Chains A and B, each alone.
Chain A
Amino acid sequence: MTILTMIAKMSEGLGRTCAIFFLTLLFSLPLGMVVALLRMSKNRVVSAITKAYISVLRGTPLMLQLLAVTYGPFYLFGMGVAREKLVPVIIAFALNYAAYFAEIYRGGIESISRGQDEAAEVLGYSRFQCFMRIILPQVVKRILPSVTNEVVTLVKDTSMAFTVAYQEMFTIGKQIANSQTSFMPFVIAGVFYFLFNAAVAFVMGRFEKRLSYYR
């Protein structure tokens, strides 16, 4: 098999790789905010449960979580394994990344001085207005570098989907590598992830620059 054929075959999985990447961000970025707010809740029970959630999802391998979400329903309830693996893959990825994003958000929110809330409160802003207009924009600026870190990791983590045989780019590459006894598919995958992340770094850099108008 020529390198070009390998690239062509692996490219067929690119759509799925991108699907994991974008859908995970779509769900985990907002979900992470919900988790962060629950984590900071004054209700001790709510905050403790959320803390446990974060601790489990950060403390166990993503690979294990993928297996659990995909095959768990079969082992636990005798339910059939989903034919379309995208759904369990996105659920596992979104839950996992939400836990990481939640902690980044929490760090960001807690780093904003209390004086900002107080100034807004005295001026009569509602708590929601204060959060959306005063706190959140400053949090976004502050956490952008940490978020970029996670997004870059996510690009590479999409390859984890091979554990449940989801036919994304890396899974296909691995199959070719086995059948052709060639290391070349891994090199191709490496180049692909590198280029993908170069694009991610560029886009995130633009965001950071757009927010650099104040300190």
Chain B
Amino acid sequence: MSKLLEINHCRKHFGTTSVLEDLSLSVEEGQVLSIIGPSGSGKSTLLRCATLLETMDGGDLIYLGNYAARDEGGRSVYAPPAELQRIRGMFGLVFQNFNLFPHYSVLKNVMEAPMLVQKREKSEVRAEAMALLEQMGLADKADAYPYQLSGGQQQRVSIARALAMNPKILFFDEPTSALDPELTGEILRVIRKLAEKKMTMVIVTHEMMFARDVSDWVVFMNDGVIVEQGDPREVIDHPTQERTIQFLRRLQEK
């Protein structure tokens, strides 16, 4: 198995607060990695650094051996824009709040980026987009606008939009946090199906049972560092670190 994503010694601070401290992480092809931890632990910041929405202060960010950022004397030096643009094509991101384009139909939301950014043929993109919507159970919603859909449907469209770019790795930033509990299931089912197809994924989530079932590896973060990581059943059912035990217990009390 080859390393798809590698983050080495990542550091990030906002003002005087350190958000990520010397954090290293790697994801192998076909792996599903879940990141859990309390709010403010830096999970989302880590995802935003990995997806180039934030810049790291220090550390390497490497996709399939291509350096997006390289640590030089403790500072991250980013690759030129053209290279970063190429690297952006390797990953997709699903947001907590979907961030669909409200003025586009469902189909156009899915189709525009492959045509505009990857300059692919319209007919080919359309066929692929329809297949993706079919897979998401939304074929009949192709001409609908986002405001006409439920939150769960919108999130499925946004997953289709990300997949239409054929990413090598897909990031999820709390994909069910903005959804009603009953709509959470439909998103989790979709992610589970992707996992069965060996899609490489990194999922920030608060759904412990889901993380335990679907992932190959779980990372527990607290205060910008990885406190504990390993096999999901080990970490979630038999945590060894005091902070992890505390966090999981609190979650169960809810």
B and A form one assembly: yes
Is there a chain A Cβ closer than 8 Å to B43's Cβ? no
Known contacts A122-B88, A213-B145; decide if A115 and B99 are in contact (CB<8 Å).
yes
Question: Is A138 a contact partner of B103 (Cβ separation < 8 A)?
Answer: yes
Instruction: List which B117-166 residues lie within 8 A (CB) of chain A.
Output: 117-118, 145-147, 158, 161-162, 165
Q: Number of A residues whose C-beta is below 8 Å from B?
A: 20
Known contacts A115-B95, A115-B97; decide if A122 and B102 are in contact (CB<8 Å).
no
Question: Is A134 a contact partner of B101 (Cβ separation < 8 A)?
Answer: yes
**Interface majority SS (helix, strand, loop, mixed), chain A:** helix
Question: Is A119 a contact partner of B101 (Cβ separation < 8 A)?
Answer: yes
Known contacts A122-B88, A133-B112; decide if A113 and B99 are in contact (CB<8 Å).
yes
- Alpha-carbon distance A86/B40, docked complex (angstroms): 61
Known contacts A115-B97, A137-B103; decide if A122 and B117 are in contact (CB<8 Å).
no
Which residues of B sit under 8 angstroms from A119, Cβ to Cβ?
Answer: 95, 99-101, 158
CB contact between A214 and one of B97, B145, B165 (< 8 Å): that residue? B145
Question: Is B95 a contact partner of A123 (Cβ separation < 8 A)?
Answer: no
Chain A window 190-215, contacts with chain B (Cβ cutoff 8 Å), 1 for yes, 0 for no: 00000000000000000000000111
CB contact between A124 and one of B89, B100, B146 (< 8 Å): that residue? B89
Instruction: List which A115-135 residues lie within 8 A (CB) of chain B.
Output: 115-116, 118-125, 129, 133-134
Question: Is B101 a contact partner of A125 (Cβ separation < 8 A)?
Answer: no
Which residues of A sit under 8 angstroms from B145, Cβ to Cβ?
Answer: 213-215
Is there a chain B Cβ closer than 8 Å to A9's Cβ? no
Question: Is B92 a contact partner of A122 (Cβ separation < 8 A)?
Answer: yes
Which residues of B sit under 8 angstroms from A156, Cβ to Cβ?
Answer: none
Question: Is A116 a contact partner of B99 (Cβ separation < 8 A)?
Answer: yes
A-B CB contact pairs (8 Å), 29 listed: A113-B99, A115-B95, A115-B97, A115-B99, A116-B101, A118-B95, A118-B99, A119-B158, A121-B52, A121-B53, A121-B88, A122-B52, A122-B53, A122-B92, A122-B93, A123-B162, A124-B89, A124-B117, A124-B118, A124-B165, A125-B113, A125-B116, A129-B116, A133-B112, A133-B116, A137-B103, A138-B103, A214-B145, A215-B102
